[in-house]
Structure formats: structure tokens, C-alpha cells
């Protein structure tokens, strides 16, 4: 378990240094990440992804909007919805943050070798609550689906195996 704590510490350290330059924290990073990856995301969808209170999101989102990193517009089918997108400035920052984390992951995978890519993906998937795996898979589909080996994506669609390998 301690390895996971140390890996997480170092995984977030790179973006933390960049975020400090802007006076931002990890909450800003999470919002930027998901809005950049899913332009047009609603506030309700973002709250569901992040599992934070509306009050917590409002403070961070207000700062990102006021400083020109995120734009919001009214929904076309439902005018009550606020659709979020990164501005060019926000996209550049989100990609800079993703770049340093992506490089850390690429280095680690290169160090352990290609044979461990699939087991690493399987392990990370197993860390997600079983009832959330399909939703996470849908969320990170698209360009991120390359990060999940095809065998694991098929397994998610079919229903996750239990601890003994049998299907539920």
C-alpha cells in the first residue's frame, strides 16, 4: 500500500509545481483535466465525475472562469445547463499538466517493459469500484481508450470478473 502512496505523491508532484505558478491547486487541475477531455461537459456531469459538492466546485470553477481558463455557455437543448469548455489558455495549461504526468507514466511503463502494460491496466481498473468500472470506461473512451488494453475494455463491456475470475 505504501508504494501506491509514494507513486501518487510523485505522480501529482509534477503538476503541483506547475499549478503553484498560477496559484492553483489539485482541484483546479481535476476540473481543467475533465473539461479539456470532455468539452461541453455540464456542471452536473462534472460534479458526478469529481464527486464533490457544488459549493466546492463553484469556488474553483469561478476562479478558472474569471482568470480565462474555462468558458461556460448556455445549453442549446436545456437553457438551464451550463456547458463548460477550456479556453485556448485553459487547454494549453491542461495539456501541459497532462504532458508531465503522461511522461511519468510512459517512463514507468518503459522501465517495467511492455509485458506489464496489460497487468498494470488490469490492476488500476481493479482499484475502481466494480459498479463504477463501466461508467469510467465510457468516460475515458475516445482518445484515452488507447490507455486501456483492448482485452480489459472488452472485459468491462462484458462485466468485470469476480476475484476468482468468474463472471458475476
Q: What is the pLDDT of residues 60-86, one digit of tens each?
A: 999 999 999 999 988 777 777 889 999
| pLDDT for res 17 | 97
| pLDDT for res 163 | 37
Q: What is the pTM of this model?
A: 0.80
Query: What percent of the chain has a predicted confidence (pLDDT) above 90?
Result: 64
Q: How far apart are CA 65 and CA 69, in angstroms?
A: 6
Dihedral pair phi/psi, residue 79, rounded to 5°: -70, -10
Give the pLDDT mean for 91-106: 96
Query: What percent of the chain has a predicted confidence (pLDDT) above 70?
Result: 84
For the CA atoms of the chain, what is the radius of gyration? 17
| pLDDT for res 28 | 97
Count of CB atoms situated within 10 Å of the CB of 32:
26
Provide the 8-state DSSP code for 113: -
pLDDT exceeds cutoff 70 at 153: no
**CA angle 33–85–133, rounded 5-degree value:** 45
pLDDT in tens, 109-147: 999 998 998 898 889 889 999 999 888 888 887 444 445
Amino acid at each position: 500500500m505504501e508504494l501506491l502512496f509514494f507513486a501518487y505523491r510523485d505522480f501529482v508532484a509534477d503538476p503541483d509545481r506547475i499549478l503553484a505558478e498560477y496559484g492553483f491547486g489539485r482541484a483546479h487541475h481535476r476540473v481543467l483535466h475533465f473539461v479539456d477531455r470532455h468539452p461541453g461537459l455540464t456542471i452536473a456531469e462534472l460534479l458526478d465525475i469529481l464527486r464533490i459538492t457544488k459549493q466546492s466546485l463553484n469556488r474553483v470553477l469561478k476562479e478558472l472562469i474569471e482568470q480565462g481558463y474555462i468558458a461556460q455557455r448556455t445549453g442549446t437543448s436545456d437553457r438551464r445547463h451550463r456547458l463548460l469548455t477550456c479556453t485556448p489558455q485553459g487547454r494549453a495549461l491542461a495539456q501541459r499538466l497532462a504532458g508531465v504526468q503522461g511522461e511519468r507514466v510512459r517512463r514507468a511503463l518503459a522501465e517495467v517493459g511492455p509485458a506489464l502494460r496489460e497487468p498494470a491496466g488490469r490492476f488500476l481498473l481493479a482499484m475502481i469500484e466494480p459498479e463504477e468500472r463501466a461508467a469510467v470506461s465510457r468516460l475515458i473512451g475516445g482518445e484515452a481508450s488507447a490507455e486501456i488494453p483492448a482485452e480489459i475494455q472488452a472485459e468491462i463491456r462484458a462485466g468485470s470478473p469476480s476475484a476468482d475470475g468468474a463472471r458475476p
